[in-house]
Amino acid sequence: MKVNKDGNGYTFAFSIILVIVVGVILSSLSIGLDPLKKANVAVKKKMNILSALGVESTRQDGSDKYDEFIKDSYVISHNGVLQEDLPEEKKAFNLDVQKQFRDKTIEVSDRLYPIFEAEKDGATIFVLPVVGKGLWGPIWGFVALADDYETIVGTSFDHKGETPGLGAEIAQDFFENRYNGEKIADNGQFTPIKVVQNGTGSEEQKVDGITGGTITSKGVEKMVNKTMRVYYKYFSKNK
Amino acid sequence: MESTLDIFVKAIFTENMIFAYFLGMCSYLAVSKTVKTGVGLGLAVVFVLGVTVPMNYLLENYVLKEGALSWLNEDYGVNGSNTIDLSFLSFIMFIAVVASIVQLVEMLVEKFAPALYGALGIFLPLIAVNCSILGGALFMQDRQYSTILDATSFALGSGVGWFIAIVSLAAIREKIRYSNVPPALRGLGITFIVTGLMGIAFMSFMGVEYGKKEEAKSNTESGGAVETSQIINVKQVN
Amino acid sequence: MSTTEEKLKAPKEPLFSKKNKRLITDPLSDNNPITIQVLGICSALAITVQVEQAFWMSISVIFVMVFGNLIVSLLRNLIPSRVRIIVQLVIVASLVIIVNESLQAFVPDVSEKLSVFVGLIITNCIIMGRFEAFAMSNKPFPSILDAVGNAIGYAWILVLVALVREVLGSGKIWGANIFGNNLPGEESGLYALGYVNNNLMILPPMALIVVGVIIWVQRSMNKELVEEN
């Protein structure tokens, strides 16, 4: 029997079979790989937190080390007030600060700020997430603060799509280390840290930016200062 | 954050589809021989982007995204007991929307505006596989615009940027015919290089800072000093 | 069924006959998809800043193309001609989703780097072009060869452009320094002598100019390819 391939019936039947086959293959693949993907995202976040602490980790041992170093985590509001009884998806680790930053329907004053409390070499260190925007898209990272509540002891930054070799260098160790030792406060007053392009980064409250990555560097400056201001409100109250 | 107008202007100049992301290069190079055809294809791209991106935005936010089906049943939402995440299907859905819209537009144009079809007809099928259309949808998803208005203004901005790019390249190619280009570079080679040079010219828009006013306002609101940085910084392009 | 007939016929032709070999070698130079046919540059140029990205992009494209061409070729007598383009798009899109999901699950670092550009493989004109021009009218085996040839022809240009840009732009190959250390204050190697990376190479437009130069070189060597203006 010769089937009329240009007939409507054949075309419909073919399309329906195709859609079912494709749908089944893709759904099972997606469901099968989903736990792996979710785990990857979570491990990456843990690795970033650890990196700000100055702890090297790999995708394999990221989770274990996270449990080893991070002792506690909690969430504060934009005014620096500790938040309690939050639903599961707003707990410190699950809170998506990037989404919160991008979503215009959330007022700035309604944003939540997680704090990860870590213990390293006997000292308490606070790891604080920061988000902002670079030249091409979002940039984010973590800043580690010593227990004097003002000295930065480590940072780790990451980005979505900054220019490789220029803005993208913010994710490199050499840039991240430039923040070490800077203070976000002086005599109980918040003080911003400037990212400069003229090579005077060794001065106090100044960090050298990335040559050719001016806008991304400025983005980092804005991101760190804006978020640290909020956290300092909390720390200065709870010293 | 960025205002709707910022997104529009940014999509035309700073994040120009052609010069910053090379999207839609195939048809861009193939159809830019004369200004007339360039204008035709450019308009078609503006139109198709303007229609498909908002449609894909609705699809993304009410069907595909994690928990997007919460309007059907609370259980399917992000906080529900049975969260549904269909985002793995987004490629196939986006391209299906693009392909069917293009087909539909082609049929409508053929029926109601035969003259326009004569001019645009051959370009429309090309558009289905034009990267800038699917690229527009994927960037929309990636950047998670918070309102459909923002997504539409991004789409129209990208379209206009693409239009400007193809028309100006076509104009340059019309003139280049009278120049003495080295034989091996004629045609395609010189077109690539001209596009590259145009891209460098477009990069000077990159230093423009958007949303300065609003940013300053929100900074003072949170009780801080406004950071003084140059409004325009074209000296060091990122 | 015509497909089974062809399967029976196939062994008569040597596996790598002259004709089949040409299917692979032609797209590498004289009929290169990027420099001659001008297809598929859309998604390609943006990820040629580093060799690593270009490499993974190439692998993904080779995978999608080979399997896509194979599937289309197997189904060629079944696909209704009216919905041909959509069916082809669905096949590419499904393969790309498979690639994307696998990258996210197994090599998440690469997936982050390629971001939306994996999705853009769908509209890579080479793939649709080969489906339409070759796989729809040829047997599965030649279709695979054709796909391999074209995908590699695409890949080597991609990696070459990335190599030029990464070496000149950031002084690295696959992320490793080749000219010495260029961190401010602790320069070594060439940088200590005053060498500076050409940051212009990293900017997007330079990809076009590099491809332009490759075309120039290729056509100077093979005069037949020169276009009339």
pLDDT in tens, B107-150: 887 888 777 777 665 667 667 767 788 888 888 887 778 788 98
Q: Residue B212's pLDDT is what?
A: 54
Task: Give the pair of three-digit tokens for residue A126.
Answer: 């606070």
Domain limits of chain A?
72-237
Closest CA to C215 of C59, C50, C41: C41
Contact B103, C109 (CB under 8 A): no
Question: In terms of DSSP H, where are the helices of chain A?
Answer: 8-53, 62-69, 97-102, 173-176, 214-237
DSSP one-letter code for A151: B
Number of domains chain C contains: 1
Domain that holds residue B89: 4-207
* Co-location of B175 and B236 in the same domain: no
Rounded to whole angstroms, how far apart are CA atoms A215 and C89?
39
Q: Any chain C CB within 8 A of the CB of B97?
A: no
* Co-location of B142 and B225 in the same domain: no
**How close B209 comes to chain C (CA, Å)?**
19
Q: How many residues does chain C have?
A: 229
Would you state the torsion angle of the CA atoms of residues C13, C16, C18, C21, taken in this order, to the nearest 10 degrees?
A: 140
Would you state the torsion angle of the CA atoms of residues C144, C150, C152, C158, taken in this order, to the nearest 10 degrees?
A: -150
* Co-location of B128 and B222 in the same domain: no
> Which residue from B19, B92, B186 is facing C226, i.e. has the nearest CB?
B186
Query: What is the residue type of C3?
Result: T
Q: At which residue do the structure tokens 């996210």 appear?
A: C104
Angle at A210 between CA C181 and CA B228, to 5 degrees: 165
* Co-location of B61 and B142 in the same domain: yes
SS3 A74: strand
Domain that holds residue C101: 40-165
**How close B74 comes to chain C (CA, Å)?**
27
* Co-location of B163 and B220 in the same domain: no
Neighbours of chain A (3+ CB pairs under 8 A): B, C
SS3 B79: coil
> Which residue from B22, B24, B132 is facing C204, i.e. has the nearest CB?
B22
Tens of pLDDT along A59-104? Answer: 888 888 888 888 888 888 888 788 877 777 677 787 777 777 776 6
Q: Which residues, numbered 120 to 139 in chain C, qualify as contacts with chain B under a Cβ-Cβ cut-off of 8 Å?
A: 120, 122-125, 128
Q: Residue A3's pLDDT is what?
A: 64
CB contact under 8 A, C86 and B176: no
* Co-location of B177 and B221 in the same domain: no
Query: From residue B16, how far is each of A52, B142, C205 by CA, in Å?
Result: 35, 16, 12
Examine residue C203 and state whether it is found in any structural domain, yes or no: no
CB contact under 8 A, C87 and A161: no
Examine residue C126 and state whether it is found in any structural domain, yes or no: yes
* Co-location of B219 and B161 in the same domain: no
Q: Residue C227's pLDDT is what?
A: 66
* Co-location of B125 and B175 in the same domain: yes
Tens of pLDDT along C124-133? Answer: 778 888 888 8
pLDDT over 90 percentage in chain B: 13
> Which residue from A11, A33, A166 is facing C82, i.e. has the nearest CB?
A11
* Co-location of B60 and B107 in the same domain: yes
Closest CA to B222 of C175, C198, A78, A46: A78
Contact B162, C42 (CB under 8 A): no
> Which residue from A89, A160, A229 is facing B78, i.e. has the nearest CB?
A89
Complex ipTM over 0.90: no
Task: Give the contacts of B35 (CB within 8 A, at least 6 positions apart).
Answer: B167, B170, B171, B174
- C222 C-beta neighbours (distance < 10 Å), count: 13
| Chain A residues within an 8 Å CB radius of B209 | 215
Contact B164, B12 (CB under 8 A): yes
Q: Which residue of C has its CA nearest to B26?
A: C39
Tens of pLDDT along B176-227? Answer: 888 888 888 887 888 889 988 998 888 888 766 665 554 444 444 333 333 3
User: Rounded mean pLDDT of chain C?
Assistant: 79
Contact A107, A131 (CB under 8 A): no
Q: At which residue do the structure tokens 């190959």 appear?
A: C173
Angle at A208 between CA A203 and CA A214, to 5 degrees: 140
* Co-location of B134 and B218 in the same domain: no
Q: Any chain B CB within 8 A of the CB of A136?
A: yes
Rounded to whole angstroms, how far apart are CA atoms C140 and B65?
37
Kind plus residue range of the DSSP H or E element containing B26: helix B25-30
- Identify residues of A whose CB sits under 8 angstroms from chain C CBs: 5-6, 10-11, 14-15, 18-19, 22, 25-26, 29-30, 33, 36-37, 40-41, 44, 59, 160-161, 163-166, 174, 208, 212
